Amino acid sequence: KKGLINDYDKKNFTFIKKDVCKKIDIKGPVDYIIHAAGIASPVYYMKFPLETIEVNTLGTQNMLDLAKRKKSKSIVFFSSSEIYGDPTKGNIPTPETYKGNVSSIGPRSCYDESKRLGETLCMTYYNLFKLPVKIIRPFNVYGPGMKVNDDRVLPKFLNAALSGESLPIHGNGTQTRTYSYISDAIAGFFLVMLKGKDGHVYNIGNDEDEISLVNLAKVISEVFPKKINVKKIPYPKTYPADEPNRRCPDITKAKKELGFKPTTSLKKGILRTLDWYKNEFY
């Protein structure tokens, strides 16, 4: 199936394919930059750790340099909720002020630590050059556009269910997450870019419906006519095992400063994603 990138309006949109890890040169003004390049799926950043580090550090510096040269009005860096690591109980929901509980040498560290360094680069450019940079820490965004082989939990569950297979759960399934539907998240991303304060960090996600993987599997089962089984499996070598026990954002700052308000329930978002998967891949 052709990707969404092929469906853009060619009159109002120009697609330029570039490697962010090399110096970026674009003719004309560049008013706004959204730096969302990165390797975000755990399976892939385990497979390509050096590339993961490079895009989050060198790639980020190249985009900051572009914003500096072009005197951009705003540049947004997509960091990650992973930079918090495994938050302590008293820091769930997790505010932007939490400094993190992260291993610098663990199996996920190539992603976590390079995102943290990316944030440091952003703040350094802000402090040295007054670059209008904002940092977003997204929390488990999902929805249409995710590949079925993405290997994150919702695509993996939906792909398994559509293929008539059991839903695979790593570990005991008690680890909890909240999930942010793509349209809610995108509204938050644009609010940060247009209204966010320079040199500030914003959590963007859903602060409600924290749910365990076991219960998430039950929600998936409910949207299918036939019963779907759950299969608990050990962590494969291709998947980093030290994932956080809980992940839930405190989005008070985004609500108060930006007017951010997620509105899509988990079940509604899953149904929309399922419809898109059926049309695209099955």
* Distance in angstroms (rounded) separating the CA atoms of residues 218 and 51: 36
pLDDT tens sequence across 62-106: 999 999 999 999 999 999 999 999 999 999 999 999 999 999 998
Residues contacting residue 167 through CB under 8 Å, at least 6 positions apart: 156, 157, 160, 161, 217, 220, 221, 228, 229, 230, 231
Torsion of CA 191, 154, 56, 206, to 10 degrees: 30
pTM over 0.85: yes
pLDDT tens sequence across 175-227: 999 999 999 999 999 999 999 999 999 999 999 989 999 999 999 999 998 88
- Which DSSP helix (H) or strand (E) runs through 177? strand 176-177
Q: Respond yes or no: is residue 111 known to be catalytic.
A: yes
Domains recognised in the chain with CATH numbers:
19-281 (3.40.50.720)
pLDDT tens sequence across 104-145: 998 899 999 999 999 999 999 999 999 999 999 999 999 999
Query: In Å, how far from its chain's centre is CA 49?
Result: 17
pLDDT value for 107: 86
Annotated active-site residue in 45, 84, 111, 181: 111
- Provide the 10 A C-beta neighbour count for residue 124: 14
